[in-house]
Structure 1
Amino acid sequence: MIFIADFHIHSRYSRAVSPDMDIDNLARWARIKGIKLMGTGDFTHPLWLAELKEKLKPTDNGLFSCGETHFILTGEVNSIYTQSNKPRRIHNLIFAPSFGAVERINRKLLSRGARLRSDGRPIVGLSARDLVELVMDASPQSFIVPAHAWTPWYSVFGTKSGFDSLEECFGDMRPYIQAIETGLSSDPAMNWRISGLDQVAIISCSDSHSPRKIGREAAVFDTELNYTSIIEAMRGRRTDKLLYTIEFFPQEGKYHYDGHRLCGIHQGPRETLSKGEICPVCGRRLTIGVMNRVEQLADRPEGFVPERSSPFKSLVPLEEIIAESLGVGQTTKTVETYYQRLIARFGSEFEVLLNTPIDEIKDVDPQIGEGVDRVRKGQLHIEPGYDGVFGKIRIFGQEERIPEGPTDGEQLSLL
């Protein structure tokens, strides 16, 4: 069956996460978005793990369910350590096949000094290599994916604390790393420029901290809905099983360009090459973004497509499209009303963004239909994000909008 999956999210037990990130809200928003399979996130946290055991029903195939939404056990671990006289901060996403496997992994992490109650994304002093060994010893059916692989501060290829190759990071455990997560500031095309990544699957996930943000990146599979089939699709780079990924436009990610947010300085790799890495305002070093980092490691030109690569589709969240199309704020009642109307008519957000004929969307509102059409065609103007500042997307010029919002008295119930 074909389904959309978002494996990487966080519970309310992680720092800077909405208190609404609980199982009931995740299941509800997954239905609204059109996501069939969600990662649980944070399985290392004892209070969240207890909630997962209480709320989720086992499906006898390595997955769990809450109503129509299925869940797969996942958790992110932050390794902070020193290697080759350089501080390293690497985030890895762990998939586990059962609560028993989770409990074995957690016990081993506790024995190595991890403070699992302090944060849903715990910090450990283990190297990324040793973390893989620990997880695979505890549960050979588990699966490990370097998270948001290019983020400057906390990732395998990050400029601030990462490595230049998977082999350098994971050593003899490298064969267990068979997929990477793109992160919001990169897309598969950027990763395809690195020949060393040809042997791993490229997946995308939202890394969401609130229910409305789930699915902003995701992966689309055509497999049986069970743990083994899903993991094997990634492990084997099965392009007939991992059909495509759903991506942010990477320029919208908050680490795409080089820059310094406190001084409002941002620039692309070529400008950094000519001007240097020092902020012209304060004299501090710029945060080097993902685009520049890819240029540093790339051994292929832009546009190269390796064999056996799953394609991708870049989208803008529907609420952003509605707000931009109508020229109103994203959190306004107008946006909420139109969002509810589209979901009620077409079934889910992804059904609107990916499959619904544009003429049918225009029946709801011509300007929104035009906005979705432009996003599908990539006809956008984007101010790239940098140093923790999200990029800004513009679909229309002000003179192109024809706002026709609903009256204040209109009420529509959310499905």
Structure 2
Amino acid sequence: MRFTADLHIHSRFSRATSRDLNLDQLWRWAQLKGIRVVGTGDCTHPGWLAELEQELVPAENGLLRLRREPPDGQVPDSCRAPVSFLLSGEISCIYRKGGRTRKVHCLVLLPDFEAAHRLNLALSRVGTLASDGRPILKLDAKDLLAMVLQASPRALLVPAHAWTPHFSIFGACSGFESLQECFEELAPEVHAIETGLSSDPAMNWRLSVLDGITLISNSDAHSASKLGREATLFDAELCYQGIYQAIVGGKGVAGTIEFFPEQGKYHADGHRCCGVRLSPEQTIAHGYRCPTCGGKLTVGVLHRVELLADRAAGARPEQAPPFWSVIPLIDLIGGALRVGSSSKKAETLYFELLERLGNEFHILLDASLNEIAARSTATLAAGIGRMRAGEVEIEPGYDGKFGTVSVSASEEDTT
């Protein structure tokens, strides 16, 4: 069965997240986006875990569904579809190793509540779990992996947003140069990495050491409306074991839906305080210092990939699944209408389109451009067409500042 999943999100118990991150809103936005399986996020937080146990009941083997779905009217008929949840969480490991401070974020996927309670008991002996939905623990990522496998041999640990500078396994500021360096003898138990918003599969394909490692993508959503800004397409049995086997074996992952990586806020090098954005070559020429103030530059994902890659750009391993780079529909609508993405005018057209055509992924990837034009504007349809063709205008993100990826389209483009 083919279905789309977003397995890395957060709840309202995490810092810097929206209050709308509750199960009802996640259920609603999953349907609006076109997502069949949603990670619960934050399963290490005792308050959120108790809420999950109260409001979710077993669905497909190892997956969960809402005990009581919200009343009709929350989701247009054109988008209505079943939604299942999978227990997940993110853990921030900060520790010393190899003479350096390491900061590695890890995504954990669990098959049942019993495994979640076993993992939380082990983690509670290391540090507090109640202060943040994404706990910060003085814990070696290798030791976390051992705890995850002790909680359940069917649990998975996936290095989260693997390339971002400050909190990832390959990050320029505190990361490692290989899975083996981080996880040592347990490295074979790491079957996947998460590409993150600032990289895409094509960038990861440049590293032969990642051959055989499954690439997955997720939103890392901090509000319900950000669900699905990245996601993974599975061709597997719809159950926990099906997802587990797809990730471990790789063949059940049929592709990923990606940000254009330049839109990620750590793609390029730079110094945000000075408004300086640099290419890897420019950074090297300036001795890794800001040419304006002399301060230390933040080395971005593109630079880090260049340092570790052993293949030229454009290399692609055999049988690598495809990926699709998209711009969020609300951003495309804002551009077509020449208004802000958060404006009432853009939001009105967004929900009208969903009601007329179906969920967001269908509109972005599959819907006929003629039909989109008939139900909205020719300019929007042309913009979606250009996005599908990769004909985009880019200003890369850097040092914590999101980039902009836009399309330039006129009505004549659809004729």
The TM tier, using the shorter chain, reads over 0.9
Contact 2:257–2:326 (CA under 8 A) maintained in structure 1:
yes
Alignment gaps of 5+ in structure 1: 403-415
- Among 202, 219, 231, the alignment partner of 1:189 is 202
Query: Is 2:262 the counterpart of 1:251?
Result: yes
Q: Give the TM-score normalised by the residue count of structure 1.
A: 0.94
Indicate conservation of the 8 Å contact 1:220/1:246, yes or no: yes
Query: 1:148 aligned to 2:145?
Result: no
Deviations 1:196-238 (A, max 9, x none): 1002100000000001101000001111210001110110011
1:166-194 Cα distance to aligned partner (Å, 9 max, x none): 00000011011000000000000000001
- What amino acid sits opposite 2:112 in the alignment? S
> What's the counterpart of residue 77 of structure 2?
none
Question: What is the TM-score normalised by the length of structure 2?
Answer: 0.94
**C-alpha separation between the residues in 1 aligned to 2:180 and 2:98?**
14
- Deviation of 1:382 (Å): 0.7
Counterpart pick for 1:269 among 258, 273, 280: 280
Q: Is the 8 A contact 2:396 2:402 kept in 1?
A: yes
2:102 is matched with: 88
Q: Deviations over 1:91-126 (max 9, x none)?
A: 000000000000000000012x22100100001111
AA aligned opposite 1:94? V
* Deviations 1:375-396, CA, capped at 9 Å, x for gaps: 1111111100000000012312
Select the residue among 312, 315, 323 that pairs with 2:334: 323
Specify which of 69, 74, 88 is matched with residue 83 of structure 2.
69
2:332 aligned with 1:354, yes or no?
no
Aligned to 2:96, what secondary structure does the other structure show? strand
Structure 1 residue 384 and structure 2 residue 403: aligned? no
1:160 is displaced (CA, Å) by 0.5
C-alpha displacement of 1:59: 1.6
- Cα offset, 1:275, TM superposition: 2.6
For 1:60 and 1:255, how far apart are their aligned partners in 2?
37
User: 1:276 Cα shift?
Assistant: 2.4
Q: Partners in 2 of 1:256 and 1:203 — Cα distance? A: 18
Task: Determine which of 152, 159, 177 is the counterpart of 1:139.
Answer: 152
SS of the aligned residue for 1:129 comes to helix
- Quick check: 1:326–1:401 contact (8 Å CA) kept in 2? no
Structure 2 counterpart of 1:28, one-letter code: R
Deviations 1:61-114 (A, max 9, x none): 000012421000000011000001100000000000000000000000012x22
Q: Counterparts of 1:350 and 1:392 in 2: how far apart (Å)?
A: 20
The equivalent of 1:230 in structure 2 is: 243
Structure 2 match to 1:162: 175
Alpha-carbon offset, residue 247 of structure 1:
0.2
- In 1, Cα distance between equivalents of 2:303 and 2:192: 22
In the alignment, does 2:49 pair up with 1:49?
yes
Distance in 1 between the 2:235 and 2:355 partners? 26
**In terms of mean alpha carbon deviation, does 272-281 or 313-322 score higher?**
272-281
* Contact kept in structure 2, 1:149 and 1:183, CA below 8 Å: yes
User: Hey, what does 2:27 align to over in structure 1?
Assistant: 27
CA distance in 1, matches of 2:169, 2:351: 39
2:349 equivalent among 326, 329, 338: 338
Q: How far does residue 57 in structure 1 lie from its aligned partner after superposition?
A: 1.5
**Shift in CA distance, 401/254, structure 1 to aligned 2, threshold 3 Å:** farther
**By how many angstroms is 1:371 displaced?**
1.1
Secondary structure of 2:170 counterpart = coil
**Residues 105 and 160 in structure 2, CA contact (< 8 A), matched pair in contact too:** yes
Work out whether 1:17 is the aligned partner of 2:30: no
Task: Please tell me whether the aligned partners of residues 219 and 246 of structure 1 are also in contact (alpha carbons under 8 angstroms).
Answer: yes
Instruction: Look up the match of 1:104.
Output: 118
State the shift of 1:23 in Å: 0.4
Q: Which amino acid in 2 is paired with 1:396?
A: S
CA drift at 1:291: 0.1
Q: Are the counterparts in 1 of residues 382 and 411 from structure 2 also a CA contact under 8 Å? A: no
Which amino acid is the alignment partner of residue 31 of structure 2?
R
- Asked whether the 8 Å contact 1:258–1:292 carries over to 2, the reply is yes
Structure 2: distance between partners of 1:304 and 1:280: 33
SS at match of 1:50: helix
Match of 1:370 in 2: 382
Q: Please give the secondary structure, in 2, of the residue aligned with 1:167.
A: helix
Contact 1:237 / 1:308 at 8 angstroms: preserved in 2?
A: no
**1:281 maps to 2:292:** yes
Match of 1:413 in 2: none
Output the CA distance in 2 between the equivalents of 1:30 and 1:133: 32
Q: Which amino acid aligns with 2:390?
A: G
Q: Distance in 1 between matches of 2:129 and 2:193?
A: 24
Q: For 2:225 and 2:383, how far apart are their aligned partners in 1?
A: 20
Aligned mates of 2:203, 2:60 — CA distance in 1: 38
In structure 2, what is the Cα distance between the partners aligned to 1:186 and 1:168?
A: 21
Percent of residue pairs bearing the same amino acid type: 50
Unmatched segments (≥5 aa) in structure 2: 70-81
In structure 2, give the amino acid aligned to 1:149.
Answer: A
Shift of 1:60: 5.2
Moved more, 3-12 or 63-72: 63-72
Coordinate RMSD, CA, aligned:
1.1
Q: In 1, Cα distance between the equivalents of 2:316 and 2:355? A: 38
Q: 2:314 aligns with which of 290, 303, 311?
A: 303
> Which one is further off, 128-137 or 148-157?
128-137
The amino acid that maps onto 1:359 is N
Query: Are the counterparts in 2 of residues 327 and 401 from structure 1 also a CA contact under 8 Å?
Result: no
User: In structure 2, what is the equivalent of residue 37 of structure 1?
Assistant: 37
